[in-house]
């Protein structure tokens, strides 16, 4: 890939297994302009500053491109343009700014209470125990398929109130819609066309679910949102539900998989977690620094913003490279060392500012329960492929499979 | 003075004193470390006193965390009474002397007492500064007084008023000025807080002062205001400011007066002639230092954040040897207040501000970021329930950005620059 | 234990509420109140809160064995 920019190299799947040397290269210029006019922010001080800068907008999704003509006038002239307009106006709050963002997020947070999330710890443990029990007798597992994927998906379905038997349907939808986070994919016509179809399908599904929840409310977040008399309109409700569902599918899987991968690469930390499970919280924060599930987020500059000796011009796309800032030696001493005892670990693994990950408390619980249980019960674990194969995304970065050999599954 | 110190004394065992002690140990100071406190308590945190402690939430024990390896000696319950900077010792209330190689003066402030001593002695009259004060007043509030009269239009007065309303106690708040909190927040934000207080049931009286108090058998029964109105009350809280604890420095030659103890940019205490006192440093509420964000105008900042930051700087400088290795104290003053469910935060100093503008949100929503300008520069920013935007404005203040800073940002109303 | 939160630094990310719900709470949108002296038995939860805070505003230290409860 000679001649390509550093950021293009980062997007190249060939570099997915170890993008960190490229990040180190990129950090030499804290805010660097790419050929296409995008600005990549890769250092901690600059990123921490820009992520809380009110001139940086999250409303950066490209407008839908012109539709390809289907030949059906009602579809082409009415249905699709109307649906496109609705999608544009009722984007999920991850792609919106205050005051709308704050209102929608606030309504979600009202349902996502500490008490409710706390209740998920026990359920997460139960699901974890079930998944580990299924590994009994096996000597080979794929951690992704056998554990890291089904755990968060089951948890988010339970929390939202989505019937687990429907899960198979939106596995594909979630993966497709997550391309909205990949700047090299979301702009192209084919991805947009796929996303349109996909969103319409998932929206129809959610709409049916909302109707059901209103008739027969349950103890779950979707019921709460759907019956909140002071709540959001149905378009925002659908977009929000889709967001929570997709985010619950696509991120925690990476955190857990990266966690086991890292522990197997540094067995002294695996042994320590086994012996001292109370050290899990700090280990998970270090994991969020060292191998974060989301490597970057995109933004848009609303004004000329002077930073690090240059000016990001108005309307420029901005890429906040969280995973590079997490390895910034100016902020973290010996940054490429995995060190759970690191003091003052102000990592950006969950982002920051107004858009700090909504699901962070849940992700922490899931990662803690999962990693503590896995190292306690799976004996004689080893990697059979290092590095493992990765999923294509450069932002939502994680292994698509993590094939492990194991000797024994201990009793729960 | 390049010999490394063997014995460090810290006069003042509160937030600044403890932060300095931690700072010294973190920087490798292994010698003898003594903290002197006039209260019998280990260092404790004050901000919760006017809020959760009075309200009876959680524990009343706000003792600050101390590192297990701090290895400091605490001389508690005895004030420092004299400093001899030539012989280098501090004398305590019992006449004992503590010699030092380095001394940090962090004696802070005390509540300004009610000016009429015969009224100040009445049962039912309270001030609020220390944890013993908070315990006494808290017990009184738990016993549901008929009505609390609060005197003082500062943050403590409003926070206590908020706590009283949380406890469903009738409260009258007497503010001498025509606008509450105007000195710190300006008329717009101060007016907003006043409005919120009234909505929450506070009987807020502006431009109002007490003429005299009535008592029966030594117990407060009523107050009469200057306008002649009589208010029956069995509990009055005087939140009328603070006095700096500098009297013990009389005769030491140090430049200490009611405005504080003067020090240089490196937190070194100064004599009246402006010369540096060898080995003596100052930090926290008592220190009066040149503020680089305000053209080195002298300022004493009575805020939690400054106490910690200045103590850190002073600790580093106490071990630095000579001035070339010292760091200047360039903390940008900041503070917070919680009242009536709102969080107010301020960075910078609003003194002398000549312009004010709301940058995000609005006064009507009671969710906003506002900025203060002085001679075309941005000097302060305040947030109400919008703390996450504040770091951007803090950076603008540090950089002395033109006023108003940060234009064309999201969620900004049409710009209206007003008088503060 | 003894706990103190730097409320200048706190931006109400509320992660401590999830980690230790009995010891941290928001009164209003951003006003954090917390238990300054939780029982040693809460140590696990308090440490989760310390580590989860995105701005690292929480300091918590266990009491020395000889002074537990002495400060009251």
Distance from CA of C2 to the nearest CA of A (A): 19
Q: B164: part of which helix (H) or strand (E)?
A: helix B155-166
* CA nearest to A119 within chain C: C18
pLDDT in tens, A94-108: 999 999 999 999 999
C-alpha distance from C68 to closest chain B C-alpha (Å): 12
- Options 3.50.50.60, 3.40.50.150, 2.60.40.10, 3.40.30.10; CATH for B7-110+243-325 is 3.50.50.60
Q: Do A281 and C52 touch (CB under 8 A)?
A: yes
Task: Return mean pLDDT, chain B.
Answer: 96
pLDDT of amino acid A66 = 60
For chain C, give percent helix, strand, coil, nearest 5.
30, 20, 50
Contact C48 A281 (CB under 8 A): yes
Query: Mean of the pLDDT values across residues B316-327?
Result: 94
Query: Quick one: average pLDDT of A371-382?
Result: 97
Locate the chain A residue with the closest alpha carbon to B392. Answer: A53
> Is B207 strand, coil or helix?
coil
| DSSP conformation class of B102 | E
Q: Could you write out the DSSP letters of every residue in B373-391?
A: EETTEEEEEEEES-GGGHH
Using a CB–CB cutoff of 8 Å, tell me whether C61 touches chain B. Answer: yes
pLDDT at A64: 65
What pLDDT was estimated at residue A86?
A: 79
> pLDDT for B283-314, tens place per residue?
999 999 999 999 999 999 999 999 999 999 99
Q: Range of C43's domain?
A: 2-64
Assess C71–B contact: CB distance below 8 Å, yes or no: yes
In a domain, C7, yes or no: yes
Confidence of residue A1 (pLDDT cuts 50, 70, 90): very low
What is the chain C residue with the closest CA to B347? C8
Which pLDDT value is given to residue B213? Answer: 98
* C70, pLDDT greater than 50: no
Element (H, E) at B36: strand B32-37
Per-residue pLDDT tens over the stretch B83-117: 999 999 999 999 999 999 999 999 999 999 999 99
Cβ contact, residue pair B395, A49, below 8 Å: yes
Chains that touch C (3 or more CB pairs under 8 A): A, B
The three-class DSSP label of residue B365 is coil
Confidence of residue C71 (pLDDT cuts 50, 70, 90): very low
Least confident window among A205-209, A311-315, A323-327, B410-414? B410-414
CB contact under 8 A, C36 and B338: no
Class (C level, CATH) for B341-398: alpha beta
Contacts of A118 in chain C (CB under 8 A): 18, 21
Which CATH number is B117-240's, of 3.50.50.60, 3.40.120.10, 3.40.50.620, 3.40.50.300?
3.50.50.60
Interstrand relation of B7-11 and A305-307 (parallel, antiparallel or unpaired): unpaired
Under DSSP, is residue B403 helix (H, G, I), strand (E, B) or coil? coil
Q: What are the extents of the domains in chain B?
A: 7-110+243-325, 117-240, 341-398
Best to test chain A binding among B361, B410, B411, B413 (most A CBs inside 10 Å): B410
What is the rounded CA–CA span in Å between residue A162 and residue A143? Answer: 24
In angstroms, rounded to a whole number, what is the distance separating the alpha carbons of residues B374 and B354? Answer: 5
- Give the pLDDT of residue A68: 66
Same fold, B7-110+243-325 and B117-240: yes
**CB A297, CB A95: distance < 8 Å:** no
Q: What is the pLDDT of residue A3?
A: 61
Which of C18, C22, C33, C56 to substitute to test the interface with A, most A CBs within 10 Å? Answer: C18
Q: What is the largest CA-CA distance in chain A?
A: 67
Phi and psi at A307, nearest 5°, equal: -155, 140
* A53 touching B (Cβ < 8 Å): yes
Q: Best interface-test mutation with C: which of A119, A159, A280, A281 has the largest number of C CBs within 10 A?
A: A281
The CATH number of whichever domain residue C48 belongs to comes to 3.30.70.20
Rounded to whole angstroms, how far apart are CA atoms B221 and B236? Answer: 10
Show which residues on chain C lie within 8 Å of chain A, measured between beta carbons. 13-15, 17-19, 21, 44, 47-48, 50-52, 54-56
Q: What is the pLDDT of residue A412?
A: 76
Average pLDDT over residues B205-219: 97
Is C47 inside a domain boundary? yes
Check pLDDT > 60 for residue A390.
yes
Mean pLDDT of A46-50: 97
Shortest distance, CA B68 to any CA of chain C (angstroms) = 7
Instruction: With CB atoms and an 8 Å threshold, state whether C33 touches B51.
Output: yes
List chain C residues with CB under 8 Å of B66: 2, 61
Distances, alpha carbon A115 to alpha carbons A101, A110, A301, C31, in Å: 24, 11, 38, 19
In the DSSP assignment, the letter for residue C23 is T
Contact B411 A302 (CB under 8 A): no
pLDDT at C66: 61
Q: Which residue from A minimizes the CA distance to B361?
A: A99
Distance from CA of B359 to the nearest CA of A (A): 10
* B219 pLDDT more than 70: yes
Residues 293-332 (A) with a CB less than 8 A from some CB of B = 302-303, 314
Residue C21 and residue A115 in contact, taking contact as beta carbons nearer than 8 Å: yes
Q: What is the mean pLDDT of residues A184-204?
A: 82
Q: How large is the average pLDDT for residues A36-42?
A: 96
CB contact under 8 A, B391 and A99: no
Residue A62 confidence (pLDDT) above 90: no
**Cβ contact, residue pair A303, B409, below 8 Å:** yes
Tell me, yes or no, whether C71 lies in a domain: no
- Has residue B1 got a pLDDT over 50? no
Position with higher pLDDT, A66 vs B188: B188
The model's pLDDT over B359-372, given as tens digits with 9 standing for 90+, comes to: 999 999 999 999 99
Q: What is the pLDDT of residues C4-59, one digit of tens each?
A: 999 999 999 999 999 999 999 999 999 999 999 999 999 999 999 999 999 999 99
Residue C42 included in any domain: yes
Q: Is A19 on the interface with C (CB under 8 A)?
A: no
DSSP secondary structure string for all residues of B216-263: ETTEEEEEEETTS-EEE-SEEEE---EEES-GGGTTS-B-EETTEEEB
Contact C37 B61 (CB under 8 A): yes
Residues 6 or more apart whose CB falls under 8 angstroms from that of A362 comprise A117, A120, A155, A156, A159, A248, A252
pLDDT band at A186 (very low <50, low <70, confident <90, very high): confident
CB B147 within 8 A of CB B233: yes
To the nearest whole Å, the CA of A331 is away from the closest chain C CA by 14
| C19 within some domain | yes
Cβ-in-10-Å burial (0-12, 13-18, 19+) of B251 comes to: exposed
Q: Which residues contact B348 (CB under 8 A, 6 or more apart)?
A: B293, B332, B333, B334, B372, B378, B379, B380, B381, B394, B397
A49 interfacial to chain C (CB closer than 8 Å):
no
More confident of the two residues B257 and A68: B257
Domains and CATH numbers, chain A: 6-409 (1.10.630.10)
Dump pLDDT digits (tens) for A225-257.
999 888 899 999 999 999 998 888 889 999 999
Nearest to A243 by CA among A83, A51, A87: A87
Mean pLDDT of B47-65: 96
Check pLDDT > 80 for residue B3: no
Indicate if the pLDDT at residue B256 is higher than 80.
yes
**How far is the C-alpha of A214 from the C-alpha of A206, rounded, in Å?**
12
Q: Return the HEC string of chain A.
A: CCCCCHHHHHHCHHHCCCCHHHHHHHCCCCEEECCCCCEEECCHHHHHHHHCCCCEECCCCCCCCCCCCCCCHHHHHHHHHHHHHHHHHCCCHHHCCCCHHHHHHHHHHHHCCHHHHHHHHHHHHHHHHHHHHCCCCCCEEEHHHHHHCHHHHHHHHHHHCCCHHHHHHHHHHHHHHHHHHCHHHHCCHHHHHHHHHHHHHHHHHHHHHHHHHHHCCCCCHHHHHHHCCCCCCHHHHHHHHHHHHHHHHHCHHHHHHHHHHHHHHCHHHHHHHHHCHHHHHHHHHHHHHHCCCECCEEEEECCCEEECCEEECCCCEEEECHHHHCCCCCCCCCCCCCCCCCCCCCCCCCCCHHHCCCCHHHHHHHHHHHHHHHHHHEECCEECCCCCCECCCCCECCECCCEEECCEECCC
pLDDT > 70: percent of chain B: 99
Q: How many CB atoms lie within 10 A of CB B253?
A: 17
Q: What is the pLDDT of residue A190?
A: 81
Q: Give dist(CA B169, CA B358) in Å, integer.
A: 34
A266 CB-contact burial (10 Å; exposed 0-12 / middle 13-18 / buried 19+): middle
Length of chain C: 72
Is residue A79 scored above 90 in pLDDT?
no
Query: Which among B44, B340, B387 has the least Cβ separation from residue C30?
Result: B387
pLDDT in tens, A197-231: 888 888 899 999 999 999 999 999 999 999 988 88
Does a cis peptide bond (omega within 30 degrees of 0) precede residue B404?
A: yes
- Can you give the pLDDT at residue A173? 83
Q: Domain tally for chain C?
A: 1
Task: Reply yes or no: is the peptide bond before residue A106 cis, omega within 30 of 0.
Answer: no
Would you say residue A189 has pLDDT above 90?
no
User: Residue A61 — very low, low, confident or very high, per pLDDT cuts 50/70/90?
Assistant: confident
């Amino acid at each position: 890939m000679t001649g390509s920019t550093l950021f293009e190299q980062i997007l190249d799947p060939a570099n997915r297994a170890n993008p960190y040397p490229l990040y180190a290269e990129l950090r030499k210029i804290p805010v660097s302009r790419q050929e296409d006019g995008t600005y990549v922010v890769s250092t901690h001080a600059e990123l921490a500053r820009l992520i809380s800068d009110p001139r940086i907008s999250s409303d950066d999704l490209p407008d839908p491109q012109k539709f390809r003509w289907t030949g059906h006038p009602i579809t082409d002239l009415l249905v699709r343009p109307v649906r496109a307009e609705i999608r544009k106006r009722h984007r999920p709050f991850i792609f919106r700014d205050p005051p709308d963002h704050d209102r929608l997020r606030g309504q979600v947070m009202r349902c996502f209470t500490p008490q409710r999330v706390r209740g998920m710890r026990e359920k997460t443990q139960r699901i974890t125990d079930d998944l580990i029990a299924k590994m009994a007798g096996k000597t080979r597992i794929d951690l992704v398929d056998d554990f890291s994927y089904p755990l968060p998906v089951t948890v988010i379905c339970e929390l939202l109130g989505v019937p687990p038997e429907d899960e198979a349907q939106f596995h594909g939808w979630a993966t497709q819609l997550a391309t909205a986070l990949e700047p090299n994919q979301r702009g192209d016509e084919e991805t947009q066309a796929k996303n349109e179809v996909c969103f319409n399908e998932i929206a129809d599904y959610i709409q049916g679910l909302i109707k059901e929840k209103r008739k027969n409310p349950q103890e779950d977040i979707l019921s709460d949102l759907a019956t909140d008399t002071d709540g959001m309109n149905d378009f925002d409700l659908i977009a929000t539900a889709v967001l929570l569902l997709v985010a619950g599918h696509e991120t925690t899987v990476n955190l857990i998989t990266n966690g086991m991968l890292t522990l197997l690469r540094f067995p002294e930390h695996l042994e320590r977690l086994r012996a001292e499970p109370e050290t899990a919280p700090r280990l998970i924060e270090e994991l969020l620094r060292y191998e974060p599930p989301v490597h970057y987020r995109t933004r848009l500059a609303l004004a000329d913003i002077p930073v690090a000796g240059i000016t990001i011009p108005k309307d420029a796309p901005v890429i906040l490279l969280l995973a590079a800032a997490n390895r910034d030696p100016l902020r973290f001493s010996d940054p490429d060392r995995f060190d759970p005892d690191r003091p003052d670990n102000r990592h950006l693994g969950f982002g920051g500012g107004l858009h700090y990950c909504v699901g962070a408390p849940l992700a922490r619980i899931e990662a803690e329960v999962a990693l503590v249980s896995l190292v306690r019960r799976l004996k004689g674990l080893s990697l059979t492929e290092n590095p493992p194969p990765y999923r294509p995304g450069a932002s939502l970065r994680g292994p698509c499979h993590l094939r492990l050999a194991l000797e024994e599954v201990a009793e729960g | 003075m390049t010999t490394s110190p063997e014995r460090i004394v810290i006069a003042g065992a509160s937030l600044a004193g403890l932060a300095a002690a931690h700072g010294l140990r973190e920087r490798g100071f292994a010698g003898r470390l003594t903290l002197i406190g006039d209260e019998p308590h280990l260092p404790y945190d004050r901000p919760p006193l006017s809020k959760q402690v009075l309200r009876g939430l959680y524990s009343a024990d706000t003792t600050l965390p101390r590192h297990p390896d701090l290895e400091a000696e605490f001389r508690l319950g005895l004030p420092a009474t004299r400093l001899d900077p030539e012989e280098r010792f501090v004398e305590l209330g019992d006449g004992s002397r503590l010699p030092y190689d380095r001394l940090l003066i962090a004696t802070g402030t005390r509540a300004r007492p009610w000016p009429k001593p015969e009224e100040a002695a009445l049962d039912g009259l309270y001030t609020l500064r220390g944890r013993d004060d908070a315990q006494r007043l808290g017990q009184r509030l738990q016993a549901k007084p008929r009505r609390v009269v609060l005197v003082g239009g500062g943050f403590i007065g409003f926070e206590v008023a908020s706590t009283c309303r949380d406890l469903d106690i009738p409260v009258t708040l007497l503010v001498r000025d025509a606008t509450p909190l105007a000195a710190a927040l300006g008329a717009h934000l101060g007016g907003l807080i006043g409005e919120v207080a009234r909505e929450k049931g506070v009987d807020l009286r502006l431009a109002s002062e007490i003429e005299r108090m009535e008592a029966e058998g030594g117990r407060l029964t009523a107050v009469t205001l200057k306008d002649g109105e009589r208010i029956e009350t069995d509990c009055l809280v005087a939140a009328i400011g603070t006095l700096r604890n500098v009297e013990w420095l009389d005769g030491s030659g140090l430049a200490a007066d009611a405005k504080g103890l003067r020090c240089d940019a490196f937190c070194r205490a100064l004599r009246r002639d402006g010369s540096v006192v060898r080995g003596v440093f100052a930090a926290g509420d008592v220190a009066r230092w040149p503020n680089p964000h305000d053209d080195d105008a002298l300022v004493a900042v009575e805020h939690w954040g400054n106490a910690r930051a200045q103590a850190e700087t002073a600790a580093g400088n106490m071990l630095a040897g000579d001035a070339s290795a010292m760091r200047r104290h360039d903390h940008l003053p900041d503070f917070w207040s919680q009242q009536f469910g709102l969080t107010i935060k301020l960075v910078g100093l609003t003194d002398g501000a000549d312009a004010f503008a709301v940058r995000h949100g609005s006064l009507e929503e009671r969710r906003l970021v506002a900025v203060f300008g002085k001679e075309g520069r941005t000097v302060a920013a305040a947030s109400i329930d919008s703390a996450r935007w504040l770091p951007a404005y803090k950076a603008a203040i540090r950089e002395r950005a033109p006023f108003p800073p940060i234009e064309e940002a999201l969620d900004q109303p049409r710009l209206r620059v007003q008088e503060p | 234990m003894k706990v103190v939160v730097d409320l200048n630094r706190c931006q109400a990310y509320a992660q401590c509420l999830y980690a230790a719900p009995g010891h941290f709470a928001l009164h209003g949108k951003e006003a954090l109140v917390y238990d300054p002296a939780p029982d040693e038995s809460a140590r696990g939860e308090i440490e989760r809160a310390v580590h989860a805070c995105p701005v690292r505003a929480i300091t918590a230290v266990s009491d020395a064995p000889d002074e537990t409860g002495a400060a009251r």
